[in-house]
Amino acid sequence: MSALLLGATSACCLAQMMGAGYRPGTVHEEQGLGAPLEPPAQPDDPAFWQVEKDIRLHHFSVGKGMPVLFVHGGPGFPTREVPPGLERLADEYSVHFYDQRGCGRSTRPFDRFDTQTFPQSMMKLNQTLGIAAQIADIERIRRILGPDKLILVGHSFGGFIASLYAAEFPDRVHAMVLIAPADMLVFPPQDSSGGLFEVIRRRLPEDKQEEYAKFMREYMDFSGVFAKTDSELAANNYRLAEFYRMAEGEDSPTTVSQPALEDCGGWMVTAIYFTLGMSYDLRDPLREVKAPVLVLHGDRDLVRPEVSRGYVDVFPNARFEMIASAGHMIFNDLPDEFADAVRSFLRDLKDE
């Protein structure tokens, strides 16, 4: 699989050379963003946050109390319902959910790139939907909600984005809960696992191996990507989620359903790949985050626990908790155990 990923090197490295890649600290300094961090006036429709003049984020919430912002995974797989584990926190906290820009019911700024050159399209894509834009949206949401500090709950890819936000705005984070955060802090992977794509391949049934290999060759071929549409790219990401579920197996404890095709991110996911590039290490900025961090991992997760422990190693005030009999969606698989772990962690902070 490492050779397959190298097939995407030219496009991703071009993004880095052109300055389209993410560099820690740039969001805080408001460099390279499509709009200021200060959000515009909010719309009359209470179901949306206006984060830029032309970008709206769909959101909903449950409960009352100190704001908790849930940052969903994927990239590009928002939640349409309140997960039961987070609903159990609603007696003490107001838990907010949003669709990240480029997926779900939030603004999808592009369908097709028709007239621009490859470099122009790449720059515009990354500025509008890349890592920096996603991090900036969390800060804009904080300003819309009003508190000086947020409690962030990030799942999978959302745990990765939440971590980068904390590195950009350490004084704006009260605490973080990371649920099976994505294996994205360093690339290429520093161990023999080969990353998530390789883990999926090893876990798939033999009769699916050839189909998956063909899919991945097409999935990671960015040479003609700007001739595609958002819907075509979303369908690819939907298919990747299907392979993930197959790799989990029928005995998986995860109770979440396959994401709806219309919710899947398209260009958003491509922008994430381009922004990160093919070689990076984002661990050092996280070492400066002083906020307390709880990292949760299910012992039946397809993702290896060493990935979550890697986050614990870089955050100076982090602790790890393994949840027995849970998969990747701990808040769905074991909602009571999840809520108890989060509630205990946050109450300990009040007692300090």
Q: Is residue 10 helix, strand or coil?
A: helix
DSSP letter, residue 171? G
Query: Is residue 341 within 8 Å of residue 320, measured between CB atoms?
Result: no
| CA 78 and chain centroid, separation | 10
Q: How long, in residues, is the chain?
A: 352
Alpha carbon 327 to chain centroid, angstroms: 18
> Residue 320 in contact with residue 159, Cβ under 8 Å?
no
The DSSP string of 225-292 is GGGS-HHHHHHHHHHHHHHHHHHH-TT----PPPPPGGGS-SHHHHHHHHHH-SSEE-HHHHTT--S-
Contacting residues for 281 by C-beta, under 8 A, at least 6 apart: 185, 186
Burial of 275 (0-12, 13-18, 19+ CB in 10 A): buried
Read off φ and ψ for residue 155, nearest 5 degrees.
Answer: -110, 125
SS3 state at 38: coil
Total domain count for the chain? 1
Give pLDDT tens digits along the chain (352 positions): 332 333 344 445 444 544 457 999 999 999 989 999 999 999 999 999 999 999 999 999 999 999 999 999 999 999 999 999 999 999 999 999 999 999 999 999 999 998 778 888 988 999 999 999 999 999 999 999 999 999 999 999 999 999 999 999 999 999 999 999 999 999 887 766 667 899 899 999 999 999 999 999 999 888 889 999 999 999 999 999 999 989 987 766 665 455 788 999 999 999 999 998 878 999 999 999 999 999 999 999 988 999 999 999 999 999 999 999 999 999 999 999 999 999 999 998 865 5
Give the integer Cα–Cα distance in Å for 62 and 47: 13
Residue ranges making up the domain that contains 204: 2-351
Q: Which residue reads 């928002």 in tokens?
A: 78
User: Letter for the amino acid at 8?
Assistant: A
- Distance in angstroms (rounded) separating the CA atoms of residues 166 and 175: 9
What CATH code is carried by the domain that includes residue 187? Answer: 3.40.50.1820
Work out the burial of residue 343: count CB atoms within 10 Å of its CB; fewer than 13 is exposed, 13-18 middle, 19 or more buried.
Answer: middle
Q: Are 108 and 266 in contact (CB under 8 A)?
A: yes
User: Residue 352's pLDDT is what?
Assistant: 56
Burial of 283 (0-12, 13-18, 19+ CB in 10 A): middle
Residue 333: which residues within 8 A CB-CB, separation 6 or more?
253, 254, 255, 298, 325, 326, 327
What is the distance between the alpha carbons of residues 149 and 121, in angstroms, rounded to a whole number? 35
